[in-house]
Amino acid sequence: MDRKDYLWEGHRQLNDQNYYTKLDRPIYKDTIPVVNKILLSLYNKKFINHKQMTYLQGNKEPRMRRFYLLPKIHKKRESWSLPYCIPPGRPIVSDCESETYRTAEFIDYYLNPLSILHQRYIKDTFHFVEIIKNIVPPSAFLFSLDVTALYTNIQTAEGLLAVRNIFQKYPNSKRPEKELLQLLEINLTKNDFEFDDQYFLQTRGTAMGKRFAPAYANIFMAEWEEKALAACDKKPLYYFRFLDDIWGIWEYSIEDFEQFMLTLNGQRDSIKLTSTINRDSIDFLDTTTFKGDDFSSTHRLDVKVFF
C-alpha cells in the first residue's frame, strides 16, 4: 500500500466517534498510579508476592501504545474503501510494554481457562476437523456465521457483566475477582494510543492486541449465544464457534433460517452477524466442509483446505 493510502484508511477508522475520540495528550501516565494501587491491594491480600508485583508493574518508563492496520486483502473489492483502491484495515493496538501490558497478561491467566468451558467451543482447525469426523448429519444445510467487528463492538458494561457472571458460575476462592474486574475495566477504558503523531482513546470494545482479548470475547459470546439461541423457535442441529466464526448444520427450510438470523440479530444492537448457507459445501476458518461422493451412503462430511 502507498503510505498516504494507509494513513487515509487509519484516519477513516479513527474519525468514527462511535469507537474513538481524539486526545490532546496521552493519558497512559495518569493510569500508572491507579494500577499500582490495585497491585498493592493484591499484594496485601497475598494473591501475589513482591516479585510478582514488581513484574506486573512493568517498566518504569512504559511504552506508548501504537495503532496499526492489517489490510484485509481477502475481502471482496466491493467492500474496499474508495472502491477498488484501498482494502479495509483490521485495527490493531500494539500493547507491548505499555503501563497495562503485564496486567493484561495477569487478567488472561484467569480468564482464558474460563473462556473454553462452553459446550460450543472450538480450539483450532485440528479440533474442528476432529468434531466433523464424529458428526453424521442428515441431508441438511451447512451454514457459517460471522460476527461483524466483534472485538470493537462489545459494550464495556456488558463485557464486564459477562466476566462477573462467569466468576459467579465457577467460584474460586483463589481468584482475586474484585481486583481483576478493576484491572479489566482500566484496560478497556484507558486504552489510549498514537497514530500518525496524534493521540486517540478507544471508547468502545476491546482492542485487538490486548492479551486477554480472545478470552474476553469468548466469554462475552458464550453468554450472548446462550440467550440468543434460547430466543429462537428453531435451532441448529449443530452449532460450534471459534471466537467470532460459527459453523453449523440447519435441518429446516431457508425461510426458517432467515427467521433464525433475524432473531439472532435482534438480540443486541451491538452484535450483528452475516451468514452463508449452502446445501453441499461451506467454507469455515481455513477449511471447506462438503458432502463428498459417498455422502449418500456414509452420511459423513469431508473436509479439505480452503484457499
Per-residue pLDDT reduced to its tens digit, 90-114? 999 999 999 999 999 999 999 999 9
- Whether 187 and 58 have beta carbons less than 8 Å apart is answered as no
Q: How many residues are listed for the chain in this entry?
A: 307
The Cα 237–Cα 30 span in angstroms is 51
Q: How far is CA 57 from CA 44, 61, 191, in A?
A: 15, 10, 17
- Whether 235 and 248 have beta carbons less than 8 Å apart is answered as no
- Indicate yes or no: pTM above 0.95: no
Which position has the higher pLDDT, 81 or 215?
215
- Give residue 256's identity as a one-letter amino acid code: D
pLDDT band at residue 83, thresholds of 50, 70 and 90? low
Backbone angles phi, psi at 120, to 5 degrees: -100, 10
- Whether 255 and 115 have beta carbons less than 8 Å apart is answered as no
Domain limits for position 296: 3-305
Which position has the higher pLDDT, 36 or 297?
36
pLDDT band at residue 75, thresholds of 50, 70 and 90? confident
Averaged over 269-280, what is the pLDDT? 95
Cell numbers at 303, concatenated: 473436509
Which position has the higher pLDDT, 254 or 86?
254
The Cα 282–Cα 147 span in angstroms is 17
- Whether 205 and 151 have beta carbons less than 8 Å apart is answered as yes
Averaged over 63-90, what is the pLDDT? 87
For 205-228, the pLDDT digits (tens) are: 998 889 999 999 999 999 999 999
Which position has the higher pLDDT, 79 or 186?
186
- Give the angle 19-25-30 at the CA atoms, nearest 5°: 90
Q: How many domains in the chain?
A: 1
Residue 193: closest CA among 291, 69, 106:
69
Averaged over 39-63, what is the pLDDT? 96
- Give residue 238's identity as a one-letter amino acid code: Y
Averaged over 260-264, what is the pLDDT? 97
Which position has the higher pLDDT, 219 or 1?
219
pLDDT band at residue 52, thresholds of 50, 70 and 90? very high
- Whether 69 and 62 have beta carbons less than 8 Å apart is answered as no
Which residue in this structure is represented by grid cell 478507544?
202
